[in-house]
């Protein structure tokens, strides 16, 4: 089972606690099995003889045995908790590390809400299973076997009841497991759905309120929540029948013990103390089976979680790391630009049979050149620049930086060489300075302020009460959209990478501010190779060269003047934006 494979792997580093817990539990079980024999001695020997000293002495032994069992039980619980929490910590750490190593394509398929559920709820299920196993998996079998053995030694006639009662309990447990396992898998899937909706709603709360869609979102969440409730109730309904059925078996066995034992006691064939002792062993045996049923139900739920965890851990990054002997780590360029070339590039998302989003793309950007990527929504602009940083791999052709295929670059060296400002601005909790220094924590304050000035962020940062030490709320919610974009641009500039990609990252910035940002880039970072993804002709005009994309193909490329002379599509775009450009000029 997947759950046992995970437990075997992740309990290894905590084997000291994982070994101590069962040993201490075995001690507790041994003490529990002694109690009925001591009680039998009091009833069959001490009371008939009226031997008070024997009764007190045996009672003292019972207290001592109970105390030793208590120590064993407490010790087992402590060790099991230490092992379980250690397992959960290690598993959560490895899963998070695995997620960090996955490619964008893997993350797109798994979805953020599902990953969060697996990192939290599913790992917690495995942690709780480990703690339960280290206690019940040892206690239940030892108590069951010990109770049967001691029951046989107490009365062979009454021990025959074990052969009827134990199979009855096993049938009940087997039925419950077969019914609940698929239900628990559905429960986890429903939790995924709820988490995804909550995450989407919180991330887009401004959109929800702007479009007055709170009722719609509440209904969408309600549907997912109701689905989770229905599946949870179905699983609980099956589980609810388990305990009453097992108790029915137990009650039947207890009544049969009293009836058969009573008949033998009346005929003088069995002492009353033996009947009491056997009743205790029968109760312990059936209680151990109840523990097993609880464990099996937990195991069925944990197995669903283990499979979901295994699905993440088994993911192979779609963008593979180059083999060590084939890895290239070019020397630092000290901020100088790099040459970027696309050679017959075709790209598809997902399966090889999917429609390509880029078709036969070929061009070369020289070191220090600024290239604008212009086109309508869905034309493939972002997909094109994502290939430079190797967020995705090409389906055909190749992308090179300084003549080296990006698939041969060392991943860390490649990501350090390409600074990206994505469409969606992401800021983290912490100070503004910490966010700008995200890629270079050691950067001095002077350099921090210099890139902030180029990004037109320095002035508004200084106007804040704490300046660069101003704390940002989650996702930078206490900043405007334009302010967040400018901080993101400053963060990328501080990397001093030879290649800079601005992926439509000035959409919330006014035209005048955008123009000053671009002027600063061209004036202060002339050696940097820069790609600007945009839908604004005015922005594209500042570049040395414009790539015009249409339906995943390069429809035209050249300077603004060249495209005005040679590309009807470009002239149409310019004409469509002419009123807007004129109004900005006014």
- Strands lying side by side in the sheet with 370-375: 418-421, 499-503, 529-534, 370-375, 545-550, 553-558
CB atoms within 10 A of CB 563: 26
2-313 CATH: 1.20.1560.10
Q: What is the pLDDT of residue 583?
A: 40
Q: What is the pLDDT of residue 329?
A: 60
Tell me the per-residue pLDDT of 541-577, one tens digit each, with 9 for 90 and over.
888 899 999 989 999 999 999 999 999 999 988 888 7
Q: What is the pLDDT of residue 354?
A: 81
Task: Name every residue whose Cβ is closer than 8 Å to that of residue 127 and which is 6 or more positions away in sequence.
Answer: 84, 85, 87, 88, 91
Helix (H), strand (E) at residue 344: strand 340-347
Per-residue CA distances from 265 to 155, 286, 325, 391 (Å): 12, 24, 84, 81
Give me the residue spans of the domains in the chain.
Answer: 2-313, 340-423+497-585
Do 429 and 422 form a contact (C-beta atoms < 8 A)? Answer: no
The DSSP bridge pattern shows strands 430-431 and 471-472 to be: antiparallel
Q: % helix / strand / coil in the chain, to the nearest 5? A: 70, 10, 20
Residue with the two structure tokens 């209904």: 219
CA 548, 554, 556, 559 dihedral sign is: positive
Q: Which fold has domain 340-423+497-585?
A: Rossmann fold (3.40.50)
Residue 362 has pLDDT above 90, yes or no: yes
Residues 110-129 have a mean pLDDT of 83
Tokens of 71: 């120590």
**Region class of 61: left (phi > 0), else alpha (psi between -120 and 50), else beta:** alpha
Tell me the per-residue pLDDT of 47-74, one tens digit each, with 9 for 90 and over.
878 788 888 888 899 999 999 989 998 9
Give the percent of the chain with pLDDT over 70. 94
Residues 362-368 have a mean pLDDT of 91
Helix (H), strand (E) at residue 66: helix 52-101
Instruction: Place 436 in a pLDDT band, splitting at 50, 70 and 90.
Output: very high
Phi/psi for 367 (5° steps) reads -55, 130
Give the percent of the chain with pLDDT over 90. 22
Q: What is the pLDDT of residue 524?
A: 56
Instruction: Place 582 in a pLDDT band, splitting at 50, 70 and 90.
Output: very low
Residue 108 has pLDDT above 70, yes or no: yes
Tokens of 61: 């032994």
How many residues are there in the chain?
586
Q: What is the pLDDT of residue 107?
A: 79
Q: What is the pLDDT of residue 344?
A: 93
Tell me the per-residue pLDDT of 199-243, one tens digit each, with 9 for 90 and over.
777 767 667 766 777 888 888 889 989 998 998 888 888 777 777
Residue 286 has pLDDT above 90, yes or no: no
Tell me the per-residue pLDDT of 502-529, one tens digit each, with 9 for 90 and over.
988 877 777 888 888 888 877 655 578 9
Nearest to 251 by CA among 173, 147, 168, 150: 168
């Amino acid at each position: 089972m997947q759950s046992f494979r995970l437990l075997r792997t992740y309990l290894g580093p905590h084997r000291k606690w994982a070994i101590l817990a069962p040993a201490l539990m075995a001690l507790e079980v041994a003490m529990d099995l002694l109690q009925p024999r001591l009680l039998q001695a009091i009833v069959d020997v001490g009371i008939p003889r009226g031997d008070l000293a024997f009764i007190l002495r045996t009672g003292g032994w019972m207290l001592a045995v109970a105390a030793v069992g208590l120590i064993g039980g407490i010790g087992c619980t402590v060790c099991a908790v230490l092992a379980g929490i250690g397992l959960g910590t290690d598993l959560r750490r490895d899963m998070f590390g695995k997620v960090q190593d996955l490619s964008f394509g893997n993350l797109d398929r798994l979805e953020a809400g599902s990953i969060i559920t697996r990192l939290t709820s599913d790992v917690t299920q495995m942690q709780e299973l480990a703690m339960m196993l280290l206690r019940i998996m040892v206690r239940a079998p030892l108590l069951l076997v010990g109770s049967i053995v001691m029951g046989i030694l107490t009365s062979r006639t009454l021990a025959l009841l074990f052969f009827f009662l134990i199979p009855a309990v096993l049938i009940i447990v087997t039925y419950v497991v077969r019914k609940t396992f698929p239900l628990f898998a559905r429960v986890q899937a429903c939790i995924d759905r709820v988490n995804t909706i909550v995450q989407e709603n919180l991330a887009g709360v401004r959109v929800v309120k702007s479009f007055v869609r709170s009722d719609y979102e509440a209904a969408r969440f309600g549907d997912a929540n109701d689905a989770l409730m229905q599946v949870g109730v179905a699983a609980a309904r099956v589980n609810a029948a388990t305990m009453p059925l097992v108790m029915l078996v137990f009650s039947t066995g207890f009544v049969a013990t009293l009836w058969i034992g009573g008949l033998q006691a009346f005929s003088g064939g069995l002492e009353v103390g033996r009947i009491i002792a056997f009743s205790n062993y029968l109760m312990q045996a059936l209680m151990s089976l109840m523990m097993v049923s609880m464990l099996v139900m937990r195991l069925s739920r944990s197995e669903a979680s283990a499979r979901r965890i295994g699905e993440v851990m088994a993911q192979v990054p779609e963008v593979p790391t180059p083999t060590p002997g084939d890895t290239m780590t070019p020397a630092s360029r000290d901020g100088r630009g790099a040459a970027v070339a696309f050679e017959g590039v075709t790209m598809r998302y997902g399966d090889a049979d999917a429609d390509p989003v880029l078709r036969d793309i070929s061009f070369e950007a020289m070191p220090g050149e600024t290239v604008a990527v212009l086109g309508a929504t869905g034309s493939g602009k972002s997909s094109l620049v994502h290939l430079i940083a190797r967020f995705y791999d090409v389906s055909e052709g190749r992308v090179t930086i300084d003549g080296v295929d990006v698939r041969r670059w060392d991943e860390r060296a490649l990501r350090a060489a390409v600074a990206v400002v994505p469409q969606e601005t992401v800021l983290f909790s912490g100070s503004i300075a910490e966010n700008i220094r995200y890629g270079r924590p050691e950067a001095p304050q002077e350099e921090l302020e210099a890139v902030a000035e180029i990004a037109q962020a320095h002035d508004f940062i200084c106007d804040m009460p704490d300046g660069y030490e101003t704390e940002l709320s989650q996702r930078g919610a206490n900043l405007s959209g334009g302010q967040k974009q400018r901080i993101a641009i400053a963060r990328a500039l501080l990397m001093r990478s030879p290649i800079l990609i601005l992926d439509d990252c000035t959409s919330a910035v006014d035209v005048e501010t955008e123009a000053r940002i671009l002027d600063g880039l061209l004036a202060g970072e002339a050696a940097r190779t820069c790609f600007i993804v945009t839908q604004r002709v005015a922005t594209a005009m500042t570049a040395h060269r414009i790539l015009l994309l249409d339906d995943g193909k390069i429809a035209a490329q050249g300077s603004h003047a060249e495209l005005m002379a040679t590309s009807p599509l470009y002239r149409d775009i310019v004409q469509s934006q002419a009123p807007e450009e004129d109004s900005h000029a006014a």
